[in-house]
């Protein structure tokens, strides 16, 4: 038996519905700087490891640490269309309203 305090609900990003199908279809055109601008405008934190990694983390603003507890998603240069879709869905899963997210991404 699993104790009640251990049970949690996990929503797979593939199950998150996208309303704006036109913007979703053009997600491959989103650039790294678009994600930076959107995250900044949405008051999310962006961090990069000190090890010289080319990956950046988009983090919750209410969790001051840089551990997994604050991580929303990772972004990096040269992301595939599928990876960009995963980032969008993770931001939606975090609670960003879809219409607002598309606006901040320049769509």
Give the chain's mean pLDDT: 88
Domain with 68 in it? 20-104
The pLDDT of residue 13 is above 80? no
Q: Which of the two residues, 14 and 75, has the higher pLDDT score?
A: 75
Is residue 8 domain-resident? Answer: no
Q: Distance between CA 38 and CA 101 in Å, rounded?
A: 7
Q: CB of 49 within 8 A of CB of 59?
A: no
Q: Which residues lie across from 73 on neighbouring strands?
A: 58
Is residue 62 domain-resident? Answer: yes
Q: Enter the pTM of the model.
A: 0.84
Is residue 99 domain-resident? Answer: yes
Q: Three-state SS string across 22-46, please? A: HHHHCHHHCCHHHHHHHHHHCCCEE
- Assign 7 a pLDDT band (cuts: 50, 70, 90): very low
Is residue 66 domain-resident? Answer: yes
Q: What is the pLDDT of residues 58-96, one digit of tens each?
A: 999 999 999 999 999 999 999 999 999 999 999 999 999
Characterize 61-72 residue by residue with b for buried, 16 or more Cβ atoms within 10 angstroms of its Cβ, and e for exposed. Answer: eeeeeeeeebbb
């Amino acid at each position: 038996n699993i104790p009640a305090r251990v049970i949690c609900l996990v929503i797979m990003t593939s199950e998150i519905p996208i309303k704006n199908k036109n913007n979703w279809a053009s997600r491959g055109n989103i650039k790294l700087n678009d994600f930076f601008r959107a995250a900044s405008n949405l008051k999310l934190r962006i961090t990069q490891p000190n090890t010289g990694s080319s990956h950046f983390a988009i983090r919750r603003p209410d969790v001051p640490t840089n551990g997994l507890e604050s991580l929303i998603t990772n972004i990096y240069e040269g992301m595939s269309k599928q990876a960009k879709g995963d980032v969008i869905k993770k931001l939606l899963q975090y609670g960003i309203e879809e219409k607002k997210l598309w606006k901040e991404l320049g769509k």
